[in-house]
Structure 1
Amino acid sequence: MNAISLDATDCRILTVLQQEGRISNLDLAERISLSPSACLRRLRLLEEQGVIDRYRACLNREVLGFELEAFVQVSMRNDQENWHERFALALRDWPEVAAAYVVTGESHYLLRVLAHNLKHYSDFVLERLYKAPGVMDIRSNIVLRTLKEDAGVPVALVPNGTPGTSAAKDVV
C-alpha cells in the first residue's frame, strides 16, 4: 500500500492531534493558522481517507497499578497443526497482553505484557502462556526504565507530495 500524500498543513494538524487529541476544532484551527471551517474540512477528509484511524486516551499504567512491563519472545512448535491460529486465538483472551506481533528472527511472536507485579506476571507466564498450545520457548525482557515511548507516527517523515522532500520543515 502506498503512503498517502499530505501537505504541510495536514502534517501540522496530525502533529497537534497526536499530542493533544482532545483539542477543540477552534483551538486546532488557531494553532495551525486556518479558519475553523477549513480546519474541520481537512480533519474530516483525513478521517475519511483513513489517515486518522481512531481517537483514544493514553492511560498511566503505573497509576492504575501496573508496575511491571515486559517484552516477551515466544517460540512455537511448528509440528502442531494450526499452531499460529490457535495461539492467536488464545492471546486475545489474555488482558495482560497489551500488544502482540508476529516477528522475524529466533522467535515467532513478540508480546508486550503488563502486570501488577512480579507475582502477577509469573502467574500469567506459568498458568496461561506456557500452557498455550504449541508454545515451546519463552524469553522475557523486563523493562527497567522507559527511555522513549511515543505511540504516534513520525509525521515529520511523511512525504509531502514533492519527490525527495518531507514535511519535517513545515511541522509545528
Structure 2
Amino acid sequence: MNAISLDATDCRILTVLQQEGRISNLDLAERISLSPSACLRRLRLLEEQGVIEHYRACLNREVLGFELEAFVQVSMRNDQANWHERFAEAVRDWPEVVGAFVVTGETHYLLRVLAHNLKHYSDFVLQRLYKAPGVMDIRSNIVLQTLKEDSGVPVSLVKKSGGHGASHGER
C-alpha cells in the first residue's frame, strides 16, 4: 500500500487530533487557521481515505488497577501444524495481551501484557501462555519505568505534497 500524500495543513490537523481527539471542529479550524467548513471537508476526506481509522480515549492503566506491564518474547515449536494460526487465535482471546507482534530475530512474537500485579501476571503466564499450543520458550521483560509512550504516528515525518493534500483552495 502506498503512503498517501498530505500537505502541511493535513499534517497540522492530524497532529492536533492525535493530542486532542475530542476537539470541536470550530476549535480545530481556529487552531490551524482554516474556516470551519474547509476544516470539516479536510477532516472528512482524511477519514474517507483511511488516514484517520477511528477515535478512542486513552485510559490510565494504573488508575484502573493495572500495576504491571511486561514485554514478553515467545518462541514457538514450528513442527506442529498451523502453529502460527493457533497461537494467533489464542492471543486474540487473552485480554491481558494489549499488543501482539510477529517479529524478526530469535523469537517469533513480542507481546505487550498488562496485569493487575505479579500474581495476576504469573497466573496468566503459567495457566494460559505456557499452555498455548506450540509455545517452546517465554522471556519476560517487566517494565520498571516508562520513559516515552506515544501510540500516535510521527506526523512531522510524513512526506508532504507540494500542493494541497485533502482538498484545494481552502481558507
TM-score, normalised via structure 1 length: 0.93
How far apart are the structure 1 equivalents of 2:41 and 2:106?
A: 47
What residue in structure 2 maps to residue 170 of structure 1? none
Q: What SS does the corresponding residue of 1:27 show, helix, strand or coil?
A: helix
Size of the aligned set, in residue pairs, is 162
How far apart are the structure 2 equivalents of 1:16 and 1:92?
A: 31
Q: What SS does the corresponding residue of 2:5 show, helix, strand or coil?
A: coil
> Which amino acid in the other structure matches residue 45 of structure 2?
L
State the superposition RMSD in angstroms.
0.5
How far apart are the structure 1 equivalents of 2:105 and 2:61?
A: 29
What residue in structure 2 maps to residue 156 of structure 1? 156
How far apart are the structure 1 equivalents of 2:15 and 2:102?
A: 28
> Which amino acid in the other structure matches residue 35 of structure 1?
S
Instruction: Point out where structure 1 has 5 or more consecutive residues left out of the alignment.
Output: 163-172
What residue in structure 2 maps to residue 32 of structure 1? 32
Larger relative contact order (C-alpha < 8 A, sep ≥ 6)?
A: 2
What residue in structure 2 maps to residue 103 of structure 1? 103
Residue correspondence of structure 1 range 36-51 to structure 2 within 5 A: 36-51=36-51
Residue correspondence of structure 1 range 55-134 to structure 2 within 5 A: 55-134=55-134
How far apart are the structure 1 equivalents of 2:25 and 2:13?
A: 10
Q: What SS does the corresponding residue of 2:3 show, helix, strand or coil?
A: coil
What residue in structure 2 maps to residue 6 of structure 1? 6
TM-score, normalised via structure 2 length: 0.94
How far apart are the structure 2 equivalents of 1:51 and 1:93?
A: 28
Q: What SS does the corresponding residue of 2:149 show, helix, strand or coil?
A: coil
- What fraction of aligned residue pairs are identical, expressed as a percent? 90
Q: Deviations over 1:72-108 (max 9, x none)?
A: 0000001000000000011111000001000000000
Q: What SS does the corresponding residue of 1:18 show, helix, strand or coil?
A: helix
> Which amino acid in the other structure matches residue 137 of structure 1?
D
Q: What SS does the corresponding residue of 1:132 show, helix, strand or coil?
A: coil
Question: 1:63: how far off?
Answer: 0.3
